[in-house]
């Protein structure tokens, strides 16, 4: 990409940011199209949550480190005691599963760290980083494969599709809790 194209792309990007502080409310595909960085889909976002077992075991730092080192951008972060209301919405699709009540009870048993991470293909990549739902099947090198043993205590949640991510992000975060910021390694990570 030439110098002029970069400048035009960047000023478009800044103009959008000034005029529209909350991009979290937009579908990621729309956000991706509005940025002219040369690579589509850079503003995809996903919800990652460190569950009560992960917080109790002081694994929050390890989880954050993996996403930072991979190159994703943190745009939202909070520690909270989740109530039953948010969890019943979050796990709505599991409501008929035999383990549903236990999951809700467990997820309300202690604080959770909810995060929004942004970047190219972040939904798919973070599912791979997190590993299989059941830690017995999660490969070494994945978060669940390295830090957990039993399915009921599998350390992290990661959205499983772009649509689910949008729904979950707006459930756990208000739009003004998501921060748009310029990452200094953006060009090194994405452009050529
Ligand atoms: P699910 O959405 O199927 O998996 P994932 O978290 O990988 O998207 O299940 C949600 C959570 O429910 C899962 O992370 C742990 C818990 N769970 C159980 O406690 N027992 C089970 O048999 C399953 C499948 C899930």
Distance 48 CA to ligand 1 centre (A): 14
* Better-predicted residue by pLDDT, 62 or 32: 62
Q: Given a cut of 90, is residue 24 above it in pLDDT? A: no
Q: Per-residue pLDDT for 19 more than 60?
A: no
Query: What band does 40 get if pLDDT is binned at 50, 70 and 90?
Result: confident
pLDDT confidence tier of residue 191, bands split at 50, 70 and 90? confident
Pocket of ligand 1 (CB under 6 A): 94, 99, 103, 133, 151-152, 154, 157, 160
pLDDT of amino acid 20: 37
Closest ligand 1 atom number to CA of residue 130: 7
DSSP for the chain, written as a single string: --HHHHHHHHHHHHHHHHH-S--TTS-HHHHHHH--SSSTTTT-EEEEEE-HHHHHTT-HHHHHHHHHHHT-EEEEEEEE---HHHHHHHTGGGTTSTTHHHHHHHHTSS-EEEEEEESTTHHHHHHHHH--SSTTTSPBTBHHHHH--SGGG-SEEE-SSHHHHHHHHHHH--GGGS-----TTHHHHH--
- Please state, rounded to an integer, the average pLDDT across all residues of the chain: 85
Q: pLDDT digit string (tens) for 123-181? A: 999 999 999 999 999 999 999 999 999 999 999 999 999 999 999 999 999 999 999 99
Per-residue pLDDT, 12: 36
Q: What is the pLDDT of residues 114-136, one digit of tens each?
A: 999 999 999 999 999 999 999 99
Q: pLDDT exceeding 90 applies to what percent of the chain?
A: 73
Which residue owns the Cα nearest ligand 1 atom 4?
A: 133
Distance 133 CA to ligand 1 centre (A): 6
**Cα(97) to centroid of ligand 1, in Å?**
10
Predicted structure pTM score: 0.83
């Amino acid at each position: 990409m030439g110098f002029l194209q970069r400048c035009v792309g960047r000023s478009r990007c800044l103009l959008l940011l000034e005029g529209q502080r909350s991009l979290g409310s937009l579908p990621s595909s729309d956000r991706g199209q509005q940025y002219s960085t040369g690579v589509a889909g850079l503003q995809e976002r996903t919800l990652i949550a460190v569950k009560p077992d992960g917080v109790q075991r002081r694994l929050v730092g390890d989880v954050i480190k993996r996403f930072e080192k991979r190159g994703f951008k943190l745009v939202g972060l909070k520690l909270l005691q989740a109530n039953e209301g948010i969890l019943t919405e979050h796990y709505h699709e599991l409501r008929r599963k035999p383990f549903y009540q236990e999951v809700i009870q467990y997820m309300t048993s202690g604080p959770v760290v909810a995060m929004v991470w942004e970047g190219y293909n972040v939904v798919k990549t973070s599912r791979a980083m997190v590993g299989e739902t059941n830690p017995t099947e999660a490969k070494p090198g994945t978060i669940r494969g390295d830090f957990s043993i039993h399915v009921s205590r599998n350390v992290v949640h990661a959205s499983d599709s772009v649509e689910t991510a949008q729904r979950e992000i707006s459930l756990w975060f208000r739009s003004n809790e998501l921060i748009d910021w310029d990452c200094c390694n953006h060009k090194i990570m994405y452009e050529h």
